[in-house]
Structure 1
C-alpha cells in the first residue's frame, strides 16, 4: 500500500511510533502506584515524573514541527500537565502526544522537512519518527531502572532508530544493546564507553531544480536489495550503479562503522514532482590530504537535461566549503563522453590524456586564500 507520499515498501515510522508508545505505556502502568517524583530515572538527573513529561513534550514538539513545517526553530510552546495530574494521567498524555506524532508522520508527504538542530538543521518524517521512538525507548529504559521494572522493547524498533539517525554507529547482533551503548547507557564488548553523543539526521544539499537527499543506511539497504529506497523513481527504477553504490554504503561503510553520512550517497530528487532521477556521492570521507572522490549515475529518461551537471556543481561546492576538503577527484571511463562533459562543465580538469585501467582521472581543487 502506498503512503501519503506515494511510496511503497519503506516504513515511514508512524507504526513504529505507535508500537513504541504502546509498549512503554503498558510497562509503566505496572508502576503507577509508586511515587515517580521520588524516584530517579536511571542515570539521569531527573526523577521519573519529570522524565515522562519530557517524553510527552518531545513527542508533541516533533509532531508540531513536522505538521507545521517549522523551518528555523521549534514551535514556541511547552507542554505542562494540569496540576494534580497523577501517573496514570501522565501516561495518557504520552499516548495522546505519541498518536499526534504518528498522525503527523502518516500525513506528511515524503519530501516534507522541518527544523531540528542536529546536525544539519532539519529532519524528514522518518527522522522525526526515529527521534520520537528513540525518546520513548531510551527514557522508558531510564524510568524502568528507577522503578525496578524489566524493559525489553519490541524487536525491530532499535534497528529502525539506528539505521535512520545513528548512521555512524557500527551495527551489532543486538540492536537494543547497541542503541543503549551509543547513548551512553550500556557497555559493549570491544567498544569504548560513550560519554558524549548526538543522533544524526540526513543532510540535504539544495540545487536549482533538485534536492540532493542523503541516503540513510535503511534506504541504502532497501536499494541494494532491489527496492526503491523510499523514493519514487523516474522510469523503471534506479540505475544499476545506484544499487551497487548503495550496497557499498551498507557492506563497506555502515557495517564496519566507517560510514560518515555527509560523505555517503545522495539521491537526486526533482523539486517539481518529488521524483528521484539518480544518485551522486562520495566513496568515503576525505583522507588526510583533504582528497575525496565522487561517483554518480542517472536514470536513462533523465539524461541530456543537465541534471547531473547541476548536482555535481552543488555537491562539489558544498564539499569544498568544508575545512576537511582540498581536492575532489573522479574516475570516468574513456568512452563515457557524457560523464566527462558533466565534470568539465562542473569545473573539473582532466589530469593527463593518458588513461589508467580504462579511466580518465579528473580533479577539482579548492580555491586558495
Structure 2
C-alpha cells in the first residue's frame, strides 16, 4: 500500500562536513547536529527548510474503556474534542505559540460533530468494540482507517507542508498501545503497562488483569494488520497510516509520546523504512515509553515528564528542529568567518 524509500546516504558526508566546519567545537551542538544531519538527508539537500508545519490530532473511542481501565469515563473523548475546537487545550496553546497548523480529526468518536466544521470527519465507526471479548475492529475497518490517515496527509502535503506531527485523544488508548507494544516488541506485558491518565494501585492491578486476559484472547494472531485490528484503535490506525504516508512523501515525521510511538511501532511492522523519517520528540512519563524508545533505538529530544498526549510533545520540540535547520543554513563556517580551526594533534 505504501512505497517508502530508504534514505539515500549519498549526501551524508557533505552534510556532516558542513556541520563539522561551522564555527564551533566539533560536536558541540549535540543532538541538534544529528537532527540537522537527519533533516538534510530526508530532504536530500545541504540547505533544508521546514515549511508549513502541521499537527494532526486523531480522536476515537475505545470499547475497552468500558472495562474500567481508565480513570476517566469514555465521554471525555467527545468533550475533549470540543475543547480542541474551542481552542482551549494545551495543544491549541502550543501550536499557536510555534506557528503550527492544527487539524482535529474524528477517527471514531462516539458522537457527532456535524455542527463543528473544523472537525475533519473520518469516522470509521462510533468507537471500537471491547478487545477483551472480541477484535476491536474488523479487517476492512482497519484497512479503511489506514487509508483515511494516509488521505489526510496527502491533502496536507498539497498545501506545501513538509513536516508533520500526530497527536491523539481517546479514553482507553493507553491500553491499546500497551498491547500493541507487548505484541510487537515481545516484552512482557508488565514492562509495557503504565498508569495512563493516573490510575491508583488498585486500578492499575485491574487494568493489568484485563489486559492479561485480552492478550491471551488474541495471542494466536501474528500478522501485523491482524494484531492492529484486534487490539488497536481507530485513531491509532489512522496515525499509523498518516506516518507511513508522510514518510512516503519525504516529510519529516514528528513522533509524540507513548500512544503515538506505539502507532509508529505498528507502522514499522509494515514498513520498517518509516523509522528513518521520524524525529522522536520526547520521552513521556508513561512507564512503558522509555522501554519502547529503547526497543526502537530512538533518542528523544526532550524529557519533561509529559503524559498528556494530544501531540503536545511534537509542538514543544518543533522549535528545536527550527534551530537545527537554522544553524546549518545560517551559521558561519570557519573559512567564511576567517576563524582558525583547532589544531589536529600530530601523529606520534
Pick the structure with more helix per residue: 2
TM-score, normalised relative to structure 2: 0.28
TM-score, normalised relative to structure 1: 0.27
Q: Structure with the greater relative contact order (CA < 8 A, sep ≥ 6): 1 or 2?
A: 2
Pick the structure with more strand per residue: 1
